[in-house]
Each structure stands twice: as C-alpha cells, then as structure tokens.
Amino acid sequence: MQTTLEKTVREIALENPSSIRVFESLGIDYCCGGRRPLSEACSHAKVDPGRVAELLERSVRDSQTPETGEWSAKPLRELAAHIVEKHHGYVRRETPRIEGLLAKVAAKHGPGHPEIAQIEQLFSAIGLELSTHMLKEEQVVFPYIERMERAVQAGDRVPVAFFGSVKRPIAKMVAEHDDAGALLSQIRDLSNGYTAPRGACPTFMALYRGLEEFERDLHHHVHLENNILFPRAVEMEEAH
Ligand SMILES: [Fe+2]
Ligand SMILES: [Fe+2]
C-alpha cells in the first residue's frame, strides 16, 4: 500500500481537503508544485516528514474544508462560476489595495528596506499576468468547458473549438499558474515569510498580511482549477 509520504501532495489535498490547512501552515505548495511526492515536498519546504504525517492524520479527523470537498461532483459550470465570483473577484479587489499599500510602504520605508522595491516589481508583474490570465479563463476556457458540459448532458457531441483539444488552453493556464506561483514564492522569500521587521508600522504589517492572504487565496484558486476543474474537463472530453 502506498504510504502518505509516497503520495503526491495533490493526491493528499484531493483525498483530504483539510490537509490544505496543514500544507498552508508549513509553506508546502499543494497547487502549482502539487505533483511531487510528499517526502520531496517536505524536504523542499525544510519540514520534518514525520511531523507532517502526524499533522495530516490529525487533519483527517478535523472538519472538512467545504471549499474543496464539495466540488469533485458538482457541475463544472457551478465550479467555474464559483471561481470567478470568489477568486477572480478577490484578485481584482485585492490587487489595487495591495499596490496602494506597497506604494505607501515604499515611500516611507523604501530606503531602509530595499526588498520593498523588489516586491513592488514582482507584485506588479503578478497583477498584470493574472488580469490577462483571468480574462482568458472567463472569455475562452470556462465558457468552452460549460458548453462542453451542456452538450454532454444533452447527449450531443463535444463542441469543436478553435484551439482543438481543451488540453491545449488548459496546459497554458497551468503554466501561467506556475509562473504566478513562482513570483509569489519570490515575494515570500524576500519578505522573510511575510514577517514584518520588528517595530514595523501598521501599514507595513497590513501589507505583509495582505500579501500572505493573497498567496493563500491564489493557492486555493489554483487548486480548484489545476486539481479539480481542469482534470474533470479533460476527462469529460476524453470520454465523449
Ligand atoms: Fe482562475
Ligand atoms: Fe487560473
């Protein structure tokens, strides 16, 4: 039997949605980097695998995170609508707010904290990338998945798309998730795991809290797409 440590982080996150909280608290990437075995993810995040296995066992006994558990069987169009409303909405609201905080902190503490200018650059790249990425999902990928699902439910053939197989835009979306995840992990490193310097002003603290929450939300968001919506869409296409 496969032990927990041999399973991929993605498999564990899908089987046991409450494991996501454990991964988050330990800085283990379960969405973009979720395809590696847990043992490897532990050494990457520099955490003791035995301790992680223990926390995961405990998390099984905890309540489920409804956010993930319920989506494995619901209609894909409902999941896509949920992603747009909850996560795309969040990114659109939070990006300008965090940019405003970054500008304030840079103006006040920039000279003493050169990492802020780097974080500002990285975050602006993330904001730009995500805004086009989300439009592609909302205007092309998700509507196609919805059309395909309706056709399959009506017993019709899978609709023909200009991009050919749905696997093609999905591979592009997954690659863009990896890019955004990599930029965010650079911010995590530069900010020392979102730890504001001692005696930091409330704006500095609010900035790091905001960035940390942004990363957490993006991980949930990418998990729903990479691990649930997209594989289910590919499966549906292959089966029809
Ligand atoms: Fe998305
Ligand atoms: Fe996405």
Does the structure show a pLDDT above 60 at 51? yes
66 CA → ligand 1 middle, Å: 19
Alpha-helix residue ranges (DSSP H) falling in the chain: 9-15, 19-26, 38-45, 49-61, 66-69, 76-82, 89-109, 114-136, 142-153, 167-190, 202-222, 230-239
Q: How far apart are CA 117 and CA 155, in angstroms?
A: 55
Does the structure show a pLDDT above 60 at 65? no
| Contact assessment for residue 52 and residue 26, using Cβ atoms and an 8 Å cutoff | yes
- Band of pLDDT at residue 57, cut at 50, 70 and 90: confident
| Contact assessment for residue 74 and residue 223, using Cβ atoms and an 8 Å cutoff | no
| Contact assessment for residue 115 and residue 191, using Cβ atoms and an 8 Å cutoff | yes
Q: What is the pLDDT of residues 87-114, one digit of tens each?
A: 999 999 999 999 999 999 999 998 899 9
Closest Cα partner for 12 from 44, 50, 46, 52?
Answer: 52
Q: How far apart are CA 58 and CA 60, in angstroms?
A: 5
Q: How far apart are CA 81 and CA 95, in angstroms?
A: 20
| Contact assessment for residue 228 and residue 161, using Cβ atoms and an 8 Å cutoff | no
Does the structure show a pLDDT above 80 at 146? yes
Q: Which residues surround ligand 2, an ion (CB under 5 A)?
A: 225
134 CA → ligand 2 middle, Å: 6
Query: Which pLDDT belongs to residue 68?
Result: 61
Q: How far apart are CA 181 and CA 179, in angstroms?
A: 5
Give me 19's structure tokens. Answer: 């494991």
Q: How far apart are CA 229 and CA 145, in angstroms?
A: 9
Does the structure show a pLDDT above 50 at 115? yes
Ligand at minimal distance from the CA of 172 is 2
223 CA → ligand 1 middle, Å: 10
Residue 234, C-beta contacts closer than 8 angstroms, at least 6 positions apart: 166, 167, 170
